[in-house]
A and B are shown apart, each in its own frame.
Chain A
Amino acid sequence: MFHSMSNTLGRFARLCAATLLAAVLAAPAAAQNLGTITGQVTSTSMAPLSEVQVFIVGTQMGGLTASNGRYLIRNVAPGTYEVRAVRIGYQTLTQSVTVTAGQVTSLNFTLGDEALGLDDIVVTGTAGAARRREIGNSIVQISATDLAAPQPSVDQMLQAQSPGLLVSAGNGSSGSGAQIRLRGSVSVSQSNQPIIYVDGVRVRSEPYARNISPTEGAGRGGNVTASPLNDINPNDIERIEVIKGSAASTLYGTEAAAGVIQIFTKRGSQGAPRWTMQVDQGFNKLLPFAPDVDVRPVGDASFSETPQGEYSYKYMNLDPFLRNGYRQKYSMSVAGGAQTLQYFLSGQWDGNEGVLPLDHENKTGMRGNFTFTPLDAITVQINSAYNRTEIQNTPAGNNAQGLTLNAFRRERNYFANGNPDTIGLVLAQDVRTRVDRFVLGSTVSYDPGGAFNSRFTVGFDQAVQDNRQLRPYGYRQLPGGKLYTDSRNYTTLTADLVGSYKYDMGENSLTLSAGGQSVTTETRVVQAEGTDFAGPGEPDVDAGANRLSWETRIREVNAGFFGQALYNMKDKYFLTAGIRVDGNSAFGSALGLQAYPKVSASWVVSDEGFWNDDYGALKLRAAYGQSGRAPGTFDAVRTWRPIGYGGQPTYLPENLGNPNLGPERTGETEVGFDWSGFSDRLAADFTWYHQKTTDGLFAVRHPASEGFATSQLENVGELENKGIELNLRSTLYDTENWGVDLGASIYTNHSEVLSLGGAAPFSGGGSWIEEGYPVTLIRGVTIENPDALSNPQYSCTDSRVQPGDACVNLDVPIGPQAPTKVFGFNAALRMPKGIEITARGEYQGGHFIYDGPSNEGVNRNIRWPTCAEYYEYTDNGIGDQAPASLRYWCDRRFYRRGTMIHKADFFKIRDVTARVPLGDLIPGSANSTLTLSAQNFYRWRNDDFPIFDPEMVSNGGFGTQVPSITEHIPPAASFVASLRVVF
């Protein structure tokens, strides 16, 4: 049997290889009896348009235009054809052409702007696919073509691209992933990271595990959480679709309340192989992040070991260790194919040095996407990708054995020594993470051209993470040494079937869709550590005199089915109603299937007879939908944790359990419009949204005196998010040689905990969940008399304190931890010869962030650069003349936990990029482009925020609910030159 199957597979593999080879090589051989279509695609201002899909209608023949707008379709049989040119943001244009054998036929296209793209096809959040005009919710489409800067990661690709889409930069360590929030947080206990699909296949979206031992809660390592999103090579991406809330994500069911991001990778098209090569070279640079002062006390013997001049406070004493990290990236792809098989193949190698001395991130990847059309009605799409990410980190974060903490604290560090040679002893620790990622997806589409069509997708995503860190024998802070190794295998299996049937009723139609989806995730973890080695050398875990090991295996199943009806009246009015019914293995035993309804409507007002074309194009839309978030695997069950202790088996209480536990449910209403006018020179889209999460999964606290677990998830809470999104795009000036585009966006988010279901306010990770306050609230210490020449008088406004109670609790509500207002700006200047300069900036504000290092630094009597003014008083013996605000900030006698909370408003220039087309300057090339880009190189902070960076995250990384500052470095700026050559 095995032999037989092996033979079958072998024949299949040979057949595939032969077909592919034929597609790549055989096409030119038949060219003599065939014709060629070629031409240029330009905008109405006659500027060449690249990345336009030009293809013969009804066939797979076609390709993309180069940077000079040129395209070429070879091997076309003689005859008359309809040729179509399509690019997001431009009107689709179809022209007729007659091809003669052995001749080259010229066909040029001039595409007008279409800011609304009402006939663009959208896939995410719809049953099958839909035109934008049919959709009642807002949807973001990011086309890779529109991004001028070389994209180092998918995180950065999404940054500042749309109102309501917030991507926080995280920390400056290599491999640090970004937190993504779509319209705020819809959950206080479950993940708020959107779920991610790649070419229809659900893939891992949650952070990779930190490389730290379970025995070291304080995080003896780099304290970096990498993002699975960044395993994807940005150069492979064609476009990204983002739906921001439940109004659009209903069909994804129980796990989609935080939104959905779907990535579409590039595909091949019929024609000769088109080779593309890209080389990026640049560097990362850490910008100063603290006041440039010198607060070293004169004559303090404890500072005697600090070499004068080697440190600066603007880098918090890290100067001797910092470097400009070299960045390099090489990628190559080839796309082409024959009528029945097209291919896109790519490979990349990315080497990225961090600014900390041991930081490094290498990426190697390859992709093969194939489109196979065995029959006219059937298309098989196979997408496969393998990526390897290797990260090496400097020990950092809130970590007594970390570089950053010990440098920040100088003589008060864990060596009690500020000498860089001593602090540098921590660099003997070797911290490495490797992720091998394999994603395979196959979609079979059946579209006979009639009323019925269907699509079936199966997908497999596997990420194998290998964490390893070594503190060698003789390590200063752990002389016996320690080796920790952690092997994790995450898999996600997707099966997705959808079918649609369209009833034509004259000028109206009704499209009924139904389908089912199953997502099974499995996590397998084996961890081990060995400590106390016999001597120097390269140990394995076995070499430790003491060894520990752990194992975790978790499998979760979420599956359901849906139905949807889309009624189209006159291609102007669209009404969609649908329902998704879900089950999940994490639901309580007493809970059945869960149903999530949706309804939406859109009206293309500009297609009405009464509409004056001078008003432009306008679509009104409204949508309501629900989706959910499931509890954790074991949350519904009362469990005990079996562990060992001193060689004895032991049970400890773990989880209280709740058989009625179900998903939290987020309902979202959004209303808005899409408008473009002035010949598409000005476009706006506006959305008002309101999300309400009911049955919110709150970790209801139980008193420790009950003796079991001290919290249990219960469906008790209610919270809401509401706000607006406004996006403006304008073309101020547009000629063949010159053009100016400006854009701006506004996003607001106001959240509130509506109900705790009778539970007491609770906190976690420095955040508070409290009725009537934002999700999440930061509490801290404030003072009443900042200007008085006296000791600080603490505020005490705790609403929970009853009249007559002593004011013991000084933690007063301060404000939200997530931005409440975000403004985006972008600009593009187009110049002769296709040279283009673009810029993007982003302001976030209205929120607060906790600054742990300053709090702990002042508490430890460390001379802190933000206290220079206070030291002027104390060093001169007139500390009693210092105002209360300075004493409160800088005198440890008045230390309280939660003192250092800053207004976190900031503005950053995300990138400034110059793109220079080089044409065929490089010998043998069809065209090439040189791009120069500076990213995140300018930061403005609120005056009340004197140190660090408001986008930093704690040891827990981007998986934590809210950011807070810990002993990390801010994200670095980067400067890149990129050369892209097409052959």
Chain B
Amino acid sequence: MMQHLKRFGLASAYILAASACNFDVTNPGPTDDAFLDNPEAHQAVANGSARMLFDALNEVAYTTSAVTRETFPAGSTSSFGISINQQAGLLIYDDEHIYDGWQSVQQSRYIGESGFARFGETYEGGTAGYKPAVEAALYAAYANRLIGENWCEAAVDGGPIVSRTEMLQRAETWFTTAIDAAGSVATLAAQKTAAYAGRASVRAHLGNWAGALSDAAQVPTGFAFDARYEEAQQNEFNRIYFAGADQPYRAVTVWNTPYEAYFTATDDPRVPWTDTGLLGDASVGVVGARVSFFRQLKHADRGSDIRLSSGYEMRLIEAEKLLMDGTYTEAMNILNARRADLGLADLAPASLAEAWTLFKRERGIELWLEGRRLGDLYRWDANNTPGTLDLRETAGAAESYLDAGQSLCYPIPKAEREANPNIPLQP
């Protein structure tokens, strides 16, 4: 019998030795954090910051286009839709499509900011002239800009409330970091120009117009810096295109927006749309019926890029400063130069107030469906800027179907509040 037991014991030992004591397995796929210290991985980290920025902009541009009436909601609410509250122009902290953009933009910010720090520590040449570092700083800056332009207030790294102004200041700092890191390296000139353009826009929001003009002057009129979207898979599609592509969604329309009539009258190629002869994909709550489905054509396919900065935007900054100074004729000259290039009639306001009205419309046209309108409306509202908006984009107007309390910024979403003990549960 002892022999049996010995044999059994021996077999048990083999089993244990063969399996029970070795739990080390190597699975491919996810990458250990430490591996990212390798300089060969740095560019991919910077690309990660860009990717999440593009995700965030995709969400923000889509939702805010409806809230600001760059587009009009055409039915769908969930998935690729516009929620009931957002149809009325309200951004509520626990509503659909409030959290996704917040999460993406925070990831972009974190990847860029932490990546820049990591590169400084692990790349022997430091960040100066180092492309991954320049781009990490640049995308972190745009992420901070996206928050600063669109959120009422924010939080950073799980901390307490940070004001919108502070987020814009963070953006300014990171744009400066990118400019400094790019230095005079010729191959980083485009990134450096993009940083100047971004910083100009942020400084305009912060009221630092001298700084804004200085930066804008660094940006040629033909310059453009885009967020990239791809044909490859759905979460990389241009959301504004896809949600209104009739394949299968008809969630937004140009019907009953200021751009509907304007394009009909002018054929301005900056705001193209087409009448599909169809109706939107469901009844629109604020209208109580289904509405005409006029498909926007600016984002013409799933891979259409969305502009982050451009020389034309810089010229608008220069024009806005001229309006602030009361020199509206000079301001209109800038706008008309662009319009002339497009074969459009000149703008000829009779007064400064009218010039502001035309400027606000023109800025809306130039930056249409780029996720910038909400920030502009907030800024002009906060500064009591002269000029009026079209009734179809005016809060409380019957024509706009917008609630009188239309939101001009995103609240911090519910999920952030529930997980972050440093901010209150409710706005």
Least CB distance from A305 to B in Å reads 12
A242 to B231, CA, bound (A): 50
Within 8 A of B (CB), among A326-348: none
**With contact pairs A652-B111, A705-B416, A708-B107 given, residues A559 and B11 touching in the complex (Cβ less than 8 Å):** no
Contact yes or no, A559 B20, CB < 8 A: yes
**B20 CB contact (under 8 Å) in A302, A561, A651, A706:** A561
**With contact pairs A218-B79, A452-B5, A645-B47 given, residues A710 and B103 touching in the complex (Cβ less than 8 Å):** yes
**With contact pairs A454-B8, A583-B20, A892-B285 given, residues A760 and B418 touching in the complex (Cβ less than 8 Å):** yes
A215 proximal to B (CB < 8 A): yes
Contact yes or no, B1 A414, CB < 8 A: no
A650 proximal to B (CB < 8 A): yes
Contact yes or no, A704 B415, CB < 8 A: yes
A344 to B243, CA, bound (A): 58
**A651 CB contact (under 8 Å) in B41, B84, B103, B113:** B41
Task: Determine the chain B residues whose CB is within 8 A of the CB of A702 once the complex forms.
Answer: 158, 419
Within 8 A of A (CB), among B118-168: 154-159
Task: Determine the chain A residues whose CB is within 8 A of the CB of B99 once the complex forms.
Answer: 704
Within 8 A of A (CB), among B158-193: 158-159
Contact yes or no, A701 B12, CB < 8 A: no
A217 to B235, CA, bound (A): 9
B384 proximal to A (CB < 8 A): no
Which of A160-168, A244-252, A617-625, A653-661 forms part of the interface with chain B? Answer: A653-661
Contact yes or no, A705 B12, CB < 8 A: no
Interface string of B229-247 (1 = CB under 8 A from A): 0111111100000000001
Number of interface residues of A (CB under 8 A): 95
**B158 CB contact (under 8 Å) in A416, A551, A703:** A703
Contact yes or no, B23 A584, CB < 8 A: yes
Task: Determine the chain A residues whose CB is within 8 A of the CB of B75 once the complex forms.
Answer: 412, 860
Which of A732-740, A802-810, A943-951 forms part of the interface with chain B? Answer: A802-810
Within 8 A of B (CB), among A428-467: 446, 448, 450-452, 454, 456
B383 proximal to A (CB < 8 A): no
A527 to B355, CA, bound (A): 57
Least CB distance from B138 to A in Å reads 15
A299 proximal to B (CB < 8 A): no
Q: Which of B22, B47, B249, B250 has the most CB of A within 10 A?
A: B47
Least CB distance from A396 to B in Å reads 15
Contact yes or no, B25 A557, CB < 8 A: yes
Interface string of A556-585 (1 = CB under 8 A from B): 110111000000000000000000000111
Contact yes or no, A893 B1, CB < 8 A: no
Task: Determine the chain B residues whose CB is within 8 A of the CB of A897 once the complex forms.
Answer: 96
Contact yes or no, B114 A707, CB < 8 A: yes
B282 proximal to A (CB < 8 A): yes
B336 proximal to A (CB < 8 A): no
Interface string of A778-801 (1 = CB under 8 A from B): 000000000000000000000011
Task: Determine the chain A residues whose CB is within 8 A of the CB of B278 once the complex forms.
Answer: 416
Least CB distance from A52 to B in Å reads 34
A613 to B301, CA, bound (A): 84
**A416 CB contact (under 8 Å) in B154, B281, B420:** B281
**B418 CB contact (under 8 Å) in A302, A639, A701:** A701
Task: Determine the chain A residues whose CB is within 8 A of the CB of B418 once the complex forms.
Answer: 701, 760-762
Contact yes or no, A216 B234, CB < 8 A: yes
Contact yes or no, A553 B27, CB < 8 A: yes
**B27 CB contact (under 8 Å) in A400, A516, A634, A640:** A634
Contact yes or no, B84 A652, CB < 8 A: no
Q: A409 — nearest CB in chain B belongs to which residue?
A: B282
Interface string of A849-863 (1 = CB under 8 A from B): 000000010011100
Interface string of B95-120 (1 = CB under 8 A from A): 01001001100110111011000000
Contact yes or no, A641 B30, CB < 8 A: yes
Contact yes or no, A657 B33, CB < 8 A: yes
Task: Determine the chain B residues whose CB is within 8 A of the CB of A531 once the complex forms.
Answer: 231
Within 8 A of B (CB), among A716-755: none
**B11 CB contact (under 8 Å) in A456, A639, A646:** A456
A886 proximal to B (CB < 8 A): no
Q: B412 — nearest CB in chain A belongs to which residue?
A: A705
Q: Which of B12, B79, B228 has the most CB of A within 10 A?
A: B12
Within 8 A of B (CB), among A860-913: 860-861, 892-893, 895, 897
Task: Determine the chain A residues whose CB is within 8 A of the CB of B415 once the complex forms.
Answer: 701, 704, 710
Q: B162 — nearest CB in chain A belongs to which residue?
A: A705
Task: Determine the chain B residues whose CB is within 8 A of the CB of A553 once the complex forms.
Answer: 27-29
Q: A554-B27, A584-B23 are in contact. List 16 more A-B contacts (CB 8 A).
A: A217-B234, A412-B283, A416-B250, A448-B4, A499-B12, A559-B16, A560-B20, A583-B20, A634-B29, A634-B30, A646-B232, A704-B107, A706-B106, A710-B415, A760-B418, A892-B84
Q: What 9 pairs across the A-B complex have the smallest Cβ distances?
A: A707-B110, A518-B19, A639-B30, A215-B233, A703-B420, A559-B20, A701-B419, A861-B283, A516-B15
A-B contacts, 20 listed (Cβ < 8 Å): A302-B290, A416-B279, A454-B11, A477-B248, A555-B27, A559-B19, A639-B33, A641-B31, A642-B44, A649-B44, A651-B41, A653-B48, A653-B107, A704-B413, A707-B110, A707-B113, A761-B418, A805-B426, A860-B282, A893-B285
